Structure 1
Amino acid sequence: MFKLIALDIDGTLINSGGKISAINKKIIKTAQAQGYLITLNTGRSFYSAYKYAQELEIDIPIITANGTLIRDPKTFEVKYQLNFPQNTALEIANFLSKKKGISCQAYHLEGILLSGVGLVGLAKLSNRKGLLSLKRLIAMYEESKRSKTIRVKDFVNAVSNHQIQKFFVAAKTETGKIIEKELEEFPCTVETHYEGENGYLEIIPQGASKGEGLKRLASMYNLTLDQTIAVGDSANDVSMFQVAGLSVAMANATQYAKSHAKHITFSNEDDGVAAVIKEFMLTPVKDFKFIKKAQ
């Protein structure tokens, strides 16, 4: 019997408007009231994910920054933290600081350091077609405030004053693939997502992943991994798919993510998260039709 479900945020829990649907929220809260454990497992920083943890009244630790930080959203107590060795963080920061036309971020315990092309550049590079609208720019600005993002001129110096859990790079797809190849020379793990002309790289310490984060959280509650469900849509969710008792990809997931999941639910626009909880945790309704992976 499943006891814990770990939810990715972008492309999974929230829709294209960045909102948790009323149905997803209702079903999640129903499951919580029945004693099920609901958590977030995201590449976002803690303060970025915190907004959604508050909205859902999550009262167990959430897994953030690709498994490098597990933190209680109620007490802010750090349950687990994995940082880069300082010399490695400085080497990566120095390497990235020499790249032109990219946006780079360094995640630390209390916020994010931003360098490169800045917020406007980040907004463009995080759109598959490189488009920029006032609405998107405002949303990015609000997100940067929530995430406690600080623009820095000297990226290497700023990194030297913090313990870094993750680097995030947004770039043109062609540039990103070059950086990805060059990072093979560094002691780190690189997870990538390319879509259209732009993409991003998530650079984390060796041994870190969403899957490792899920293992640690399950252990904190004396649960076996067979009692866990993982739901996601992208490449960085595959590590938790590989360890969870049940893995579910969204209908809007990448083909790579779908190929590693046992089931495929509805899209993030069609309350796919609620469907998973109803099917595998709550009593299924008689006319419910779950999208199952083709054999």
Structure 2
Amino acid sequence: MTRIQLVISDVDGTLVTTDKRLTDRARDAVARLEDSGVGFTLTSSRPPVGMRMYSDPLGITLPLGPFNGSSIVDPELTVIEQHLIPDHAVATSLDLFARNGIDVWLFTNDNWYIRRDDGKYVPHEQRTIQFAPAMVDDFAPLAGQACKIVGVSADFALLKRCEPELQAALGDRALAVRSQDYYLDVTPPGRSKGTFVQAMAQRLGIAAEAIATIGDMQNDLPMFGVSGLPIAMGNATDDVKHQAAHVTARNDDDGFAAAIDFILDRNASLDR
């Protein structure tokens, strides 16, 4: 076994509770990681502005991976590396969502655009990322700026069916993956939470095997596939749990803190 030198965590459903709270145990767990010499950072489907309310209180000094790791920003949210969805992939995504009656949001690096307020998920997202959307009639003028497109629906089964259909239509032009049961994300090609893990390994000069990753959804699987110690939350679906080396407690039961305890105990056993 390799000693863990860096932990990369998802945010929603992992680091925070269902009501988006950062618990005292989670804060203490990150502090103990730092005290033991293990680095810590976050990657999320959230835009950069939606990560800062957690990265600041946790004192994170390493780069963050917003938009499912397809961008890399410093703790002040200055862009280090950014990739955009190609125009033709934007058009393909918008067309498939329209044909299936799925609402659409478009995120640029700095803004969130909607065409209507559905009264449910728009207010939910606004509370989650603490940032208000801008209303537009047409996404076409924004196509060259798209960091993420989201198909939004309360029909979870519909989004699950559309996920492979959209990925097949996109081919290698973009990545389509659910970040929540109600969100189907489209992000730039060749970039994922997995490539963020690899970028952090290169940046820090460590092996990917020395990185632990913690997550709960399908968009976390790419980082599970390249990290040395993938940990699934207790609230994750079975297909996500099956790809993990360890399963911790649920996010509402301080499963994140329990995962950090597991990592630190594992390191301690290797140090003996």
Do they superpose with TM above 0.5? yes
Q: 1:277 and 1:147 mapped to 2: Cα distance?
A: 30
- Note if contact 1:11-1:233 (Cα within 8 Å) is conserved in structure 2: yes
Q: How does 1:195-206 map to 2 (within 5 A)?
A: 195=181, 199-206=182-189
Q: Which residue of 1 aligns with 2:112?
A: 112
Q: Which residue of 1 aligns with 2:17?
A: 15
CA shift, 1:81, in A, is 1.4
Q: Which residue of 1 aligns with 2:87?
A: 86
Q: Is 2:255 the counterpart of 1:269?
A: no
1:149 to 133, 152, 158: 133
2:66 to 48, 64, 78: 64
More helix by share: 2
Q: Secondary structure at the match of 2:61?
A: coil
- Note if contact 1:103-1:122 (Cα within 8 Å) is conserved in structure 2: no
- Note if contact 2:96-2:166 (Cα within 8 Å) is conserved in structure 1: no
Q: Secondary structure at the match of 2:214?
A: strand
CA shift, 1:67, in A, is 1.3
Q: How does 1:180-259 map to 2 (within 5 A)?
A: 180=163, 181-182=165-166, 184-186=168-170, 187-192=173-178, 195=181, 199-259=182-242
- Note if contact 1:193-1:235 (Cα within 8 Å) is conserved in structure 2: yes
CA shift, 1:98, in A, is 3.7
Q: Which runs of 5+ in 2 are unaligned?
A: none
Q: Deviations over 1:212-256 (max 9, x none)?
A: 111111211111101100001111111111111101101111111
Q: Deviations over 1:126-184 (max 9, x none)?
A: xxxxxxxxxxx4x544346x345322111222x24x52122111122354356442552
Q: 2:30 and 2:121 mapped to 1: Cα distance?
A: 32
Q: Which runs of 5+ in 1 are unaligned?
A: 124-136, 287-295
CA-based RMSD of the aligned residues comes to: 2.5
Q: Which residue of 1 aligns with 2:121?
A: 122
Q: Secondary structure at the match of 2:235?
A: coil
Q: Which residue of 1 aligns with 2:150?
A: 168
Q: Which residue of 2 aligns with 1:51?
A: 53
Q: 2:103 and 2:10 mapped to 1: Cα distance?
A: 23
Could you say if the C-alpha distance between residues 164 and 193 of structure 1 is closer, same or farther in structure 2, counting changes exceeding 3 Å? closer
CA shift, 1:32, in A, is 1.7
CA shift, 1:100, in A, is 6.8
Q: Deviations over 1:75-132 (max 9, x none)?
A: x33222121223433x2365267447432112211122222x4251525xxxxxxxxx
CA shift, 1:207, in A, is 1.1
Q: 1:279 and 1:177 mapped to 2: Cα distance?
A: 32
- Note if contact 1:96-1:104 (Cα within 8 Å) is conserved in structure 2: no
Q: How many residues align?
A: 263
Q: 1:177 and 1:278 mapped to 2: Cα distance?
A: 33
Could you say if the C-alpha distance between residues 102 and 279 of structure 1 is closer, same or farther in structure 2, counting changes exceeding 3 Å? same
Amino acid paired to 1:188: A
Q: 2:214 and 2:167 mapped to 1: Cα distance?
A: 29
Could you say if the C-alpha distance between residues 105 and 70 of structure 1 is closer, same or farther in structure 2, counting changes exceeding 3 Å? same
Could you say if the C-alpha distance between residues 42 and 194 of structure 1 is closer, same or farther in structure 2, counting changes exceeding 3 Å? closer
TM-score normalised over the length of structure 1: 0.80
- Note if contact 2:178-2:217 (Cα within 8 Å) is conserved in structure 1: no
Q: 1:177 and 1:247 mapped to 2: Cα distance?
A: 23
Amino acid paired to 1:80: E
Q: 2:199 and 2:166 mapped to 1: Cα distance?
A: 31
Amino acid paired to 1:59: T
Amino acid paired to 2:73: R
CA shift, 1:278, in A, is 1.9
Amino acid paired to 1:24: A
TM-score normalised over the length of structure 2: 0.86
Could you say if the C-alpha distance between residues 254 and 108 of structure 1 is closer, same or farther in structure 2, counting changes exceeding 3 Å? same
